[in-house]
Amino acid sequence: MSDTIFIEGGRVIDPASGLDGVRTVIVRDGRIAEVAERVERPREARALDARGKWVTPGFIDLHAHLREPGQEYKETVASGARAAVAGGFTAVCAMPNTVPPNDNTTVTELVLARAAAAGLARVYPVGCISRGQKGEDLAEYGELKAAGCVALSDDGKPVMSPALMRRALEYARAFGLPLAVHEEELHLAGAWSMNEGPVATRLGLKGTPAQAEEVMVLRDLALVELTGGRLHLQHVSTSGSVRALREARKRGLPVTAEATPHHLTLTDEEVARSGYDTDFKMNPPLRGEADVRALREGLADGTIDCIATDHAPHAVEEKKLEFDAALNGILGLETAFAACLALVREGALSEQRLVEALTAAPARIFGLPGGSLARGAPADVAVLDPALEWTCDTAALHSRSRNTPWKGRRLTGRCTHTLVGGRLVHEQGGGR
């Protein structure tokens, strides 16, 4: 009985089973043994006091950059997994834009081995769509899947050739792998630093139009229609993309989508307000208010299935630069819950839908275990204090990098305990 934990007194929110109420979650031998209303705890079982807190399935992030192999100065699989569990994430999908890219089983196996050695969050590698992410020919999807890849992506490097994209969607069907895509028409986008619009005009920064994303979304939706391939749109950022997606889903196309905490909560005005702070620079860029509204509506009504962080660590010397020169990307794993909880406070999202978008929905999209507290499921659990106030102190982050737009901000809501496979892998002290 020594490996039995009673998570007591918390509000259990498990959208996968439709449960929302005060329960005790009993974890035994690494699995969910029971979620019970009233239960006597044997003396030898460990208790975890969750009164006043939420108990949810561990969060699942479909989109994180763990940077290993090749860019360990930004992040490693271990440090990324540590940041993940600190944020309540028990599983993260590792994007393949490593050095070298994950277009072969050697890289896939290395990522899995590093994750196993770290023993924190589960790490699911994502393989490349094209060999070397070059957009020229197909990677070996069958091999990648056999080695452990759960999806395919050339993230950051859009597949510009419609012919290759067509074949990728077709070929991936043989292995049941979804294609997760970063939608950006590079010729239309040009060299840019932020969203095109009045703020970019005022700041004199080169903008990329929302349509650079939307024309690729429309192209790929057409290709899904042609091929029947499984498409997942990464970090959807514009109202036009949401509109196209909504229409495609109405027609029953097999397409899913994610939005990031930052695109759901921040606008391009932040670039001005912060005085060109490069921690507000990412790809896709922060958009306008109408886009944020559309994303929120899309997430609430299920047009956008899930929340993914696009956790993108960069070193100080890659960010502390003039705005044009700084690399795109920001951290996400440790601030996602607090950022998204603001959507609940602002009435844009229900608590249940928020939890679903972080748990059951991502599990379904990539066909991953977890995302549920059903009896017999792996005991991947997050205990969250929705009222805990804390300051985002970059020195205290578990990531190796510091590039977060939330730095120094007062945030509300934090993960206090994380269990992976029944093991307590993260415990957070009181608020600061």
Partner 1 sequence: VIGRHRHCIALEDYSREEILEVLDLALSMKEVLRRPLKKVPTLRGKSVVNLFFESSTRTRSSFEIAAKVLSADALNWTSTGSSVSKGETLLDTAKNLEAMRPDVIVVRHAASGSPAFLARHVRCSVVSAGDGAHEHPSQGLLDCFTIRERLGSLGGRTVTIVGDISHSRVARSDLHAMGKLGASMRVCGPPTMIPQGIERLGATVFHDLERAVAGADAVVMLRIQHERIGDPLIPGTREYSRFWGLNVTKASEWLKPECLILHPGPINRGVELSSDVADGPHSVILDQVENGVAVRMAILYLLAGAGATAEVSSPEKATA
**Dihedral angle sign, alpha carbons of residues 156, 160, 165, 168:** negative
Catalytic residue among 220, 310, 380, 385: 310
CB of 193 to partner 1, least distance (A): 8
Q: In this structure, what token pair is assigned to residue 127?
A: 């393989």
Nearer to partner 1, 59 or 192 (CB): 192
Contact segment (CB under 8 A) with partner 1 among 147-155, 313-321, 358-366, 417-425 equals: 313-321
- Total residues binding partner 1 (CB under 8 A): 22
β-bridge partners, 195:
208
Dmax (CA) for the chain in angstroms is 66
**Dihedral angle sign, alpha carbons of residues 305, 376, 89, 40:** positive
* Contact flags string 207-226 toward partner 1, x per CB under 8 A: x-------------------
The answer to whether 424 touches 7, Cβ cutoff 8 Å, is no
Query: Residue 317, interface with partner 1 (CB under 8 A)?
Result: yes
Nearer to partner 1, 31 or 206 (CB): 206
β-bridge partners, 23:
10
Query: Residue 291, interface with partner 1 (CB under 8 A)?
Result: no
* Contact flags string 262-281 toward partner 1, x per CB under 8 A: -------------xx-----
HSE, CB side, 13 Å, CA atoms: give it for residue 36. Answer: 13
Query: Residue 321, interface with partner 1 (CB under 8 A)?
Result: yes
Query: Residue 199, interface with partner 1 (CB under 8 A)?
Result: yes
| CA–CA dist 137, 114 (Å, integer) | 28
> Could you say which of 44, 322, 429, 430 contacts partner 1 (CB under 8 A)?
322
Active site residue 277: no
Contact segment (CB under 8 A) with partner 1 among 24-32, 128-136, 179-187, 197-205 equals: 197-205
In 3D space, the residue among 343, 324, 314 whose CA is nearest the CA of residue 405 turns out to be: 314
Nearer to partner 1, 48 or 326 (CB): 326
> Could you say which of 204, 252, 429, 430 contacts partner 1 (CB under 8 A)?
204
CB of 197 to partner 1, least distance (A): 5
Contact segment (CB under 8 A) with partner 1 among 180-188, 194-202, 342-350, 423-431 equals: 194-202
Query: 13: which residues sit within 8 A by CB, 6+ positions away?
Result: 19, 20, 54, 55, 56, 351, 352, 355
The answer to whether 56 touches 381, Cβ cutoff 8 Å, is yes
Query: Which region, left, alpha or beta, applies to residue 276 given φ > 0 means left and ψ of -120 to 50 means alpha?
Result: left
Query: Residue 197, interface with partner 1 (CB under 8 A)?
Result: yes
What are the CA-CA distances from residue 133 to residues 41, 96, 98, 121 (Å)? 53, 9, 10, 26
Nearer to partner 1, 194 or 388 (CB): 194
Query: Residue 200, interface with partner 1 (CB under 8 A)?
Result: yes
CB of 324 to partner 1, least distance (A): 4
The answer to whether 61 touches 151, Cβ cutoff 8 Å, is no
Catalytic residues: 310
Q: Site residues (CB under 8 A) for partner 1?
A: 193, 196-207, 275-276, 317, 320-325
